Amino acid sequence: MAKIAFLGLGVMGYPMAGHLKSAGHEVSVYNRTAAKASAWADAHGGTFGTTPREAVAGADFVMACVGNDDDLRSVCLGADGAFAGMEAGSVFVDHTTVSAQVTRELYATAAETGVSFVDAPISGGQAGAENGVLSVMCGGDADSYARAEPIIAAYARICRRIGDSGAGQMTKMCNQIAIAGLVQGLSEALHFAEKAGLDGRAVVEVISQGAAGSWQMANRYETMLDDQFEHGFAVDWMRKDLGICLSAANETGASLPVTALVDQFYKEVQKLGGGRWDTSSLLKRLRALD
């Protein structure tokens, strides 16, 4: 078993750290709100640090799941940051969805002190984290990934190395691009059914068994029809991710017309006061147009 530090105890990180402890690892945690880290330690029998550097002392692996590029830099860098406390030969695994640019920056900085850095963004939402069935897409050196994979397995249904540093984050962008179009398509289908006077549940029961079926349809259609949008990844976070997608598209020359359009639709959802609604709230935008 390994000595592990987990930085960031949000709706994803809190249960992920718990799975590591349940797997028999020695786990220390850090959270910006110290009371949450203390509560996790009390609940799971682990320890906590008041700074990232304190939490990672002696750790073989450091896992992070924070908010954005700036949050990741703040837990990694500086006198109280994780890199200052990590020993040569240890591995930093970042589960945050951030830009490939900051990933490559931190990969290079970590390497200067003999620390390995693996970008490992996740998909599967809060339920996936709680049930230990996340999809994990990774970038970084092959040997570092090979060391980290058995640790990540505590909360992953599938974990794959896609390529060198940044490849995991670019793969996560593919994930978000695909989701954006799927949710808009599902929202339009349900909206059309409502306007046509059809029973939405009966419609989905039929079309979900054919080519239209998707995870989004299977897991979100009922709450969407019931006008409930508190069940998943928030619009504010999706817009952050889509912003990364569109920025990367400008750099690579990729064309993302649907993604750009859906990003603007989410902006309209935010104007409706739905920044914390889940991403399926695109349907609520359509209803608001009536």
pLDDT tens digits, 271-288: 999 999 999 999 999 999
Going by C-alpha positions, the residue among 99, 76, 79, 88 that lies closest to residue 30 is 76
Mean of all residue pLDDT scores within the chain: 97
Catalytic residue check, 271: no
- pLDDT, tens only, 162-193: 999 999 999 999 999 999 999 999 999 999 99
Write down the architecture of domain 3-164 according to CATH.
3-Layer(aba) Sandwich (3.40)
Q: How far apart are CA 254 and CA 246, in angstroms?
A: 9
Q: How far apart are CA 157 and CA 108, in angstroms?
A: 29
* Domain-wise residue ranges, the chain: 3-164, 170-288
Instruction: Please tell me what DSSP assigns to residue 225.
Output: H
Statement: the pTM of the whole predicted model exceeds 0.85: yes
pLDDT greater than 90 at residue 232: no
Per CATH, domain 170-288 is 1.10.150.120: no
pLDDT greater than 90 at residue 2: yes
% of the chain surpassing 90 pLDDT:
98
Going by C-alpha positions, the residue among 92, 37, 31, 30 that lies closest to residue 59 is 92
Amino acid at 16: M
* Residue of 3, 21, 36, 172 marked catalytic: 172
Over residues 197-205, the mean pLDDT reads 98
Burial of 236 (0-12, 13-18, 19+ CB in 10 A): middle
